[in-house]
Amino acid sequence: MKTTIKEVKIFLHTPNAQMVIFENGDWKNPTNNEIIEAFYLTPFHYGTILDEVQGPFKSFNTYNHNAPLTICGAFNEDLDFAIFNLHNGGDARGNYSAPYYSDDYDAIESILSQQTYLYIETNTGTIYLIDCENGEAYFNFDTFDIFDLKEGHELTQDQLKELETYK
């Protein structure tokens, strides 16, 4: 029996849900609303929210780390407060949303690390769930490129053997 791909997805871990960022050969571009909801972000309307926040702040842009979502901002050392701008497409040096903030450690850490997981399900019912070892959603396989895998793609014995090493 031939083993074929039933489904391939890359999930981005968020405090609220597992966000699908890649599915069956296509990158998904989450909307700002989906990102806001996934990371529990709140509009940053008034500077008074900074009244009790401890510093100093460190700026970042996830684009510089090849992360799946491009978000820039600043966070304090304790990761208990951060201000974010969500990238709206185009050149990563510009075109960002209005500011949002979070005082949720898990949400801030999730945005900074952008932990991803690869999910592969075959027609035989076998499921492979592989944790990415970097914040880039890049999975380094010797026998295939996951971005070429789509529903119906037949897996070779070498590809199956390599997947089994992650089980």
CB 96 within 8 A of CB 87: yes
What is the chain's Cα-based Rg? 18
Residue whose structure tokens are 């914040």: 135
Q: What pLDDT, in 10s, does the model give residues 93-130?
A: 889 999 999 999 999 999 999 999 999 999 999 999 99
15 residue type, one letter: P
pLDDT at 137 over 90: no
Contact (Cβ atoms closer than 8 angstroms) between residue 89 and residue 76 = no
pLDDT for 56-91, tens place per residue? 899 999 998 889 999 999 999 999 999 999 999 888
